[in-house]
Amino acid sequence: MEPVDLARASFLFLPLVLLGLLVFPGRPVLRLLLAVVAAAIVALVLPLWLPRGILTYLASFSTMAGIYAILSLGLNSQWGLTGHVNFGVAGFFAVGAFTSALFTTKMPEGALAAYSQQAFGLEWPFLAGVLMAGIIAAFVGFLISIPVLRLRTDFLAIATLGIAEVIRFIFQNERWLANGPQPMRGIPRPLDCLFADPACSWLPARVANWLAPLSPRDYVFFYLVVVALIVAVVYLALERIARSPWGRMQRAVRDEENSAAMNGKNVTLRRIESFVVGSFIMGVAGAVYAHYVVSIDYSHFNPLFATFIVWVMLMLGGSGNNKGAILGAFAVWAVWSGAAFVIDMASPALRAISADLPSRGAYLRWMLVAILLGGIVLFRPQGILRERKKVSDFLPKDE
């Protein structure tokens, strides 16, 4: 095994352990052991078995799917727990992305300032930016929820869809805020000096040698670890509160608001709470996305790309099930990415039907996702993984 493959394998290890923990059943200690062994084997086998290019693609695929998993978890805390039909996921995603960008980038100076404008640039570290993204998105969610959560079901959907569009237009038109219609560039990638030559000065020589064969193109392997950790933290935190008396109240409000109110629950506050929690998570997803793609602009946050595909993910995986939210994100992102290859391969056949059909492959992809959604709603409305019957994990397990 060459050093470059070994170094890449070392980055794959942690995400695979986390995946194993999510998938394997059984007692905690046994599960951890199983996950570590399985992850070690897979991490070593994958670089040997797959060509390097494919492995890099797989890593960037998983990174993007992980970002969608965060979004999907955020939506689950709104739709799955409390039944909010939030069609404005893109709005909170955008707020998170631009917030983190503003907090972590450097204010443009000199000649650059003529081309690039932004409200402020604080050069905060990555994690602080992510946290601020969550906080600001949660705050925006709170402000919006006061008027909007008086609405229910499809009316709420229309209102949130509109708000997400308003947010997108603000970022498109307000040049002073985040460079308006032009992209905001140069969003720092956390620890990208690991892959630079020479590597970060504070790095111990042994680690630097270990990483030496890797080039900046391999940065995605490191970012995959970052995304996996953030997905894990969000999943655990959300799972904890969803499976608690708090989650029980949310489910009660979702099932039957009047009865929940007559059981002494403040329905309005509960609804706002879960909306704000979801907004926070979506904001975090935005930040993770911004630092991954480095350059963002308003066009990234359109409803198709950032709202409806997230809905399909959650519906497919299983509304109300946090594992389902993650599973759905990976499954739909696989369909979406795979469709590109399939349409590419099928282009001779498409050309046979009509000369300009291959150039419209992008629309065929969307059609595929739409058909998928229709299929889910018709044949398996509860999704792949069902919601669990018992809500509270704080209930004693004995008896």
Partner 1 sequence: MQKTDDGQHAHKKPPVLEVRDLVKNFGGLRALNRCSLKVAEGTITGLIGPNGAGKTTLFNAITGFFQPDSGRVLTDGQDITSLPPHGVFNRGICRTFQIPREHGTMTVLENLMLVVPDQAGERFWNCWFRPELVHRQEREIRDRAMEVLDFVNLTHLADELAGRLSGGQKKLLELARTLMAEPRLVLLDEPAAGVNRTLMKRLSENIEYLRRERGITFLLIEHDMDLVMRLCDPVIVMSEGRRLMEGHPEEVRNDPHVLEAYLGGQYGAA
Q: What is the DSSP letter of 80?
A: I
Question: From the CB of 307, what's the least distance to partner 1, in Å?
Answer: 25
Nearer to partner 1, 68 or 246 (CB): 246
Question: From the CB of 159, what's the least distance to partner 1, in Å?
Answer: 23
3-class secondary-structure state, position 243: coil
Question: From the CB of 247, what's the least distance to partner 1, in Å?
Answer: 8
Choose, by CB under 8 A, the member of 2, 154, 255, 344 that binds partner 1.
255
Burial of 26 (0-12, 13-18, 19+ CB in 10 A): exposed
Question: From the CB of 285, what's the least distance to partner 1, in Å?
Answer: 20
Please name which of 78, 69, 123 lies closest in space to residue 289, comparing C-alpha atoms.
69
Please name which of 221, 279, 231 lies closest in space to residue 68, comparing C-alpha atoms.
231
Site string for partner 1, 276-315 (x = CB under 8 A): -x--------------------------------------
Instruction: In whole angstroms, give the CA distance from residue 287 to residue 96.
Output: 5
Instruction: In whole angstroms, give the CA distance from residue 235 to residue 39.
Output: 20
Q: Can residue 275 be called a binding residue for partner 1 (CB under 8 A)? A: no
Q: Restricting to residues 213-252, which ones interact with partner 1 according to CB under 8 A? A: 237, 240-241, 244-246, 248-249, 251-252
Cα–Cα distances (Å) from 48 to 43, 44, 108, 209, 382, in that order, read 9, 7, 44, 21, 39
Q: Can residue 173 be called a binding residue for partner 1 (CB under 8 A)? A: no
Choose, by CB under 8 A, the member of 24, 265, 294, 357 that binds partner 1.
265
- Size, binding site for partner 1 by CB under 8 A: 33
Question: From the CB of 28, what's the least distance to partner 1, in Å?
Answer: 15
Q: Position 66: which residue type?
A: G
Strand partners, 122: 106
Place of tokens 């949660």: 138
List contacts with partner 1 (CB under 8 A).
Answer: 237, 240-241, 244-246, 248-249, 251-252, 254-256, 258-267, 273, 277, 387, 389-392, 394-396
